[in-house]
Amino acid sequence: MTWLLTIIAWLGTTAVLVPLCFFTVIALAGPHGGILPASLHRPLLLVAWALLLAVPVWVAYLVHQRLAARK
């Protein structure tokens, strides 16, 4: 049960962050926005990917630790 809830937490966090990061990158640095200068497009994309990879893993880790501590 612990692993199932951990996976659900990871999926939920990823499902929230994907559209948020996508539309942020499109609006700030993409072809439909262009608010940022061209020199910041690549760093923004790297930050978005880092958020998409790190935050769901961190949330899943916290959920797993909390559930493991309950046992």
Give CA–CA dist 12/61, Å, rounded.
Answer: 13
Question: Could you tell me if 47 and 54 are in contact, meaning their C-beta atoms sit under 8 angstroms apart?
Answer: no
- pLDDT tens string 3-18: 999 999 999 999 999 9
- pLDDT tens string 31-58: 877 788 889 989 999 999 999 999 999 9
Range of the domain at 28: 2-70
pTM for the model stands at 0.84
Class of residue 29 by CB neighbours under 10 A (exposed 0-12, middle 13-18, buried 19+): buried
How many domains would you assign to the chain?
A: 1
Class of residue 51 by CB neighbours under 10 A (exposed 0-12, middle 13-18, buried 19+): middle
